[in-house]
Chains A and B, each alone.
Chain A
Amino acid sequence: MIAKAFTGSRRYWSWVTFLLVLAATGFACYLVQFNQGLTVTGMSRDVSWGLYIGQLTFLVGVAASAVMLVLPYYLHNVKAFGRITILGEFLAVAAIIMCLLFVFVDLGKPMRLLNMILYPTPNSILFWDMVVLSGYLLLNIVIGWTMLEAEYKTVAPPSWVKVLIYISIPWAVSIHTVTAFLYAGLPGRHYWLTAIMAARFLASAFASGPALLILLCFVIRRFSKFDPGQEAINKLAAIVTYAMIISVFFIGLEFFTAFYSQVPAHGMDTLLYLFTGLDGHGKLVPLMWLFVILAFIALILLINPRTRTREKTLMVACGAVFVSMWLEKGIGLVIGGFIPNAFNQVTEYSPTPLEMLITLGIWAIGALILTFLYKIAVTVKEEIL
């Protein structure tokens, strides 16, 4: 089946080349970082995690969203998702690989990565994050590939896959819960010290991941003979709608606790920094208001059934969901947690061009993996049509 990724139209190959160029640029930039250290990034002793860990956090959510196809199909017999569960599983594979790459480029001593395995530390949430992420990667590769191979050979999938599929459902929840625990368990990081962190993460994951899946379905429908099916897209859109409403609601809860209690230590300072600026610093204010605007546009377009079912408006809504959740989680949440710092002072962060190119390079690698996997899956599906 792998061979199917190596035959394609000119347009396919120009897209692949484009991604390869971006990935190569990112890799070259990484070599500079590897040589000079993380000083080439915008991170500091006060904001010690930045764009890289932000992307990890956001993409874990994208990966977890595969469960939004698998769960309805296998537990509730929603037949419409049967055709596209593979798209969710392969999206998870690409997203997790990106997550692992983002962890890797963030390390000060990447060559010592294996220390995490050589000296396993069960009290560290990062250790568990590694365990659940690699487990989820493995599950989705095995499940996705086996199911597709069975489809290709027009035979019934082996019965053990079903067991793995059932395991993968709670596992998807676990990857985002554990990732939320990375943040939610730290004393002194008030913005992160919230019991609904994992719930927020899951809600935003189930909004942003399926939103991306809808957009990908439209791309597939446009560029191939395989149609993911209008019913599946409509059902996904309903999932995105609910998840987006819950996400925005959860973020509202944080605002209430912070501003009604007026306890500065309950995240009020960070929220002020993010949305109004604090002590004259407000680099993230425009981005956070962009998040607010996009979230509202998304909600209006999604809640209204007419705009939710029309292809053009649904695409705008999904784009708005994806970008707004990326801003909220991948940027605001991670960076905001470090501001103000342990001394109640504001040190701002903005990524350097090099850091952005490395980030872009990893996104390109993810897109490349996704392109290959989707190419294989779609070609198989076209052949059995």
Chain B
Amino acid sequence: MDTSRREFLKLGGACALGLALLPAVKGFAAGTGSPQHLASPKALQGKRWGLVIDMKKCWPRYQEGCRRCFDTCRREHNIPVIDNSKEEIKWIWPEPFANAFPDQEHEFIPADVKDNPFIVLCNHCDNPPCVRVCPTKATFKRPDGIVMIDYHRCIGCRYCMAACPYGARSFNFRDPRPYIKETNPAYPTREKGVVEKCTLCVERIDTGLPPACVEACPAGALAFGDLEDPASPVRQLLKTRYTLQRKPELGTHPSVYYIV
């Protein structure tokens, strides 16, 4: 084949044009008769899902060895158990007060608060910095306030991990599958090289169920509901009890509140 420089450039130009047009073509294709995602009629409806965690209710059970919220979440979401604190995958886990609320710690904190763990997880911020920094929109916020990650789009740049002030994001430094004790076939596993975190159990909310940790808690320490709905259980608690948020001064507007 005899290819002149001119022809090569023409071909290259055509390819570049094709690439440039691709998004438009995709847009058209999506609009014409391709299968639409149908939401379950049972799906819970909310404008901004949130949690209120009553640590006073949790602690007596925790001292007895209750770890049900953590265990249920791990089983439900195929979270690997990696024995290396540098590569751990964490969705929901306990932290001491000083770690969870570093800006509110002082030397005279009551011993029960200081020594007891706080349940931490992704705050599903109303103004999430992780979403702001993601270069591919792999991390996004749903209309109901849940901050999600598309594991198939994430390029693993870990910018979101630098941006999250709550340490809520974990990176799959290695293939997680060998570290999953018992795989739940109803939920996808992840690959190495992507970031993951708590999803507030979208898969359950979208089929009419509350998050697994909320359901699993025998003490009823976790309350779940719509923060925009004044009648919701979370708003009832927020109205009557004094609550804390993690690092509210950062302007991220966390959707997880704590009762101490």
Contacts and interface: CB of A to CB of B under 8 A. Distances in A.
Contact of B192 (A108, A116, A341, A347): A108
A36 interface: yes
A380 interface: no
Interface residues of B, number: 51
Given A116-B155, A186-B162, A344-B102, A107 B133 contact: no
Nearest to A43: B173
A27 interface: no
A46 B85 CA distance: 9
B133 A113 contact: no
A44 interface: yes
Interface string A93-128: 000000000010011111011011011010111110
Nearest to A38: B173
B174 interface: yes
Interface residues of A, number: 44
Interface string A133-173: 00000000000000000000000000000000000000000
Residue with the greatest number of chain A CB neighbours at <10 A, chosen from B134, B161, B173 = B173
Interface string B130-168: 001111111000000000000001111111011111110
Contact of B171 (A38, A265, A347): A38
B153 A189 contact: no
Nearest to A114: B155
A169 B202 CA distance: 49
For the complex, would chain B's binding face be called helix, strand, loop or mixed by DSSP majority?
loop
Contact of B137 (A36, A119, A186, A341): A119
A295 to B, nearest CB: 27
A39 B173 contact: yes
A7 interface: no
A305 interface: no
A177 to B, nearest CB: 17
B147 to A, nearest CB: 15
Contact of B162 (A48, A119, A123, A343): A48
Nearest to A342: B167
Given A44-B87, A107-B156, A343-B167, A187 B137 contact: no
A116 B165 contact: no
B171 A48 contact: yes
B114 to A, nearest CB: 14
Contacts of A121: 134-137
B172 interface: yes
Interface of A: 36-39, 43-46, 48-49, 103, 106-110, 112-113, 115-116, 118-119, 121, 123-127, 130, 182, 185-189, 265, 337-338, 341-345, 347
Interface of B: 22-23, 85-88, 90, 95, 98-100, 102-103, 129, 132-138, 153-159, 161-167, 169-175, 191-195, 247, 250-252
28 contacts: A37-B192, A38-B156, A44-B86, A48-B161, A48-B162, A107-B156, A108-B155, A108-B157, A108-B158, A108-B171, A109-B193, A109-B194, A115-B138, A118-B22, A121-B134, A121-B137, A124-B133, A124-B135, A124-B159, A126-B159, A182-B159, A186-B129, A187-B163, A187-B251, A188-B165, A188-B250, A265-B103, A342-B165
Given A109-B154, A116-B136, A188-B166, 14 more contacts: A103-B157, A113-B155, A116-B135, A121-B135, A124-B132, A126-B133, A130-B135, A186-B129, A187-B251, A188-B129, A338-B162, A343-B99, A344-B98, A344-B102
